[in-house]
Amino acid sequence: MTTTTAYPGMHRRRARGLVGRAAVVALASTGLLGTLAPAALAAGPATTAAPHRAVAPSTVAEPAALESALRAVVEEGGSSAVQAEVREDGHPVWRGAAGVADLATGAPVPNGARFRIGSVTKTFAATVVLQLVGEQRLRLDDPIERYLPGLVPNGGAITVRQLLNHTSGIYNFTDDPRFSTEGETALQHWLTVGRWTTYRPQAVVHIATAQPPYAAPGEKWKYSNTNYVLIGMIIERVTGHTWTEEVDRRIIRPLDLRGTSMPTTSPIVPGPHAHGYIQRASGQAADVTIENPSAFGPAGAGISTTTDLTRFNAALLSGKLLRPAELAEMKKQVPAENGSTYGLGLVRYPTACGEFWGLTGGIAGYGTVLMGDAAGRRQVAISLNPLHVSEATSRTFQTLIDTTTCGSATGQTAGVPGL
């Protein structure tokens, strides 16, 4: 099932590539994401096109090309569902969805479907921190010991900045076996026990600090979700409110992001949504839509829509949420992995149509890509419900990113760090 909508004002931009296969691998290789094995899709509902709902002629990668790129991600078996939106100058210019919301019923993906955004939550949390910096309520180079005394070994040598850009060296709690879905035994335990467990932030930090650090603070980049759990705790210490309350007060309500929420323990995805799945050894897809996200917090618990995410990205990069000095700090990159870089909850993606800024994210059953140009004028948000990562599915996802971002598909890539 494919539905697309084109809007007035769309124009062509030629591309020579974007994030490509690295993004697909990243979306399926970190923590609870796992590398998802092949799964059979309901061929009829997933591949039969619905009537095209073009509102007006388009000149941004023709709607037919956008629709084809979207549908290919599903038809190749890479995802049970995929959604995408392109926004320009404050207005959506194209929106589409393909696949099915539920493999059991074959129901189509509903309009405005919500989804778990995984690590894109980090950009929301980082924005709050940078706002607090602008208010002179904390400093990026303050030691975390100042805000969380005694919680993290060597906390006097680890800075807030190092948490935000993943150079703290602190162990990634999602690498702990209790969060694994690799192998049938681990997956079954997580399905029956792990995904229902409520974790307090302190408990998550204790899981991480029970393991030796990856490196000395500032020595190297190493992705760790623990960093952002600590960021949430620092936000609460500085403001007297939870990180969710601050994100709601500072970002969600001012931008009127009606489909966005930052749950603490609620396991459901509220409102219309597509189900998320993990492949079992038997070949069956396990429905993992319902999950207590308390362990992830500001590292990955968020829920949103493509419309809300593009609006958020536009507001961030156009300077509506941060002053120039704080936005510049957020954009400062450190070397990450595979030639990529990482900022303060924000990554730079070189493209043929200029630099794009955003983040990828993933949690069991869901993957997200959000990026926009440096001026905050053009944004792309993609949500997929991954089933299988292969060379073929990677190529289809590369084509979708190229086509939505710059207007054509060329397959050039740039590295994407972990989620």
232 within a domain of the structure (yes/no): yes
> Residue 46 above 70 pLDDT?
no
175 close to 419: Cβ distance less than 8 angstroms: no
Could you tell me which residues come within 8 angstroms of residue 330 by beta carbon, excluding any fewer than 6 positions away? 126, 127, 130, 322, 343, 344, 345, 346
Tell me whether residue 110 is in a domain: no
pLDDT in tens, 308-353: 999 999 999 999 999 999 999 999 999 999 889 999 999 999 877 7
- The C-alpha R_g of the chain, in whole angstroms, comes to 20
More confident residue, 376 or 165: 165
Residues 92 and 10 sit within 8 Å (Cβ to Cβ): no
- For position 61, which CATH number holds? 3.40.710.10
pLDDT for 4 equals 54
- At 412 the pLDDT is 42
- Is residue 109 one of the residues assigned to a domain? no
319: its two tokens: 């300077």
The confidence score (pLDDT) of residue 353 equals 78
pTM above 0.75, yes or no: yes
Length of the chain: 419
pLDDT mean over 220-244: 98
Residue ranges making up the domain that contains 367:
2-98+115-405
- Structural domain contains residue 380: yes
Asked if residue 418 belongs to a domain, the reply is: no
| Distance (Å) of CA 280 to CA 36, 40, 81, 263, 267 | 9, 12, 18, 27, 21
Q: Please check whether residue 104 lies inside any domain of the structure.
A: no
Q: Which two tokens stand for residue 156?
A: 């006097």
Largest Cα–Cα separation, the chain: 61
Residue 209 located in a structural domain: yes
Residue 48 has pLDDT above 80, yes or no: no
Question: Given pLDDT bands bounded at 50, 70 and 90, which one contains residue 283?
Answer: confident
Average of pLDDT values for 197-221?
98
Predicted pLDDT at 351: 77
* Annotated catalytic residue within 58, 79, 119, 180: 119
Domain count, the chain: 1
Residue 413, domain member (yes or no)? no
Is residue 282 part of the annotated active site? The answer reads no
pLDDT tens, residue by residue, 175-197: 999 999 989 999 999 999 999 99
From the list 13, 29, 73, the residue with the least C-alpha distance to 47 is 73
Which residues touch 295 (CB under 8 Å, ≥6 apart)? 173, 174, 179, 197, 199, 204
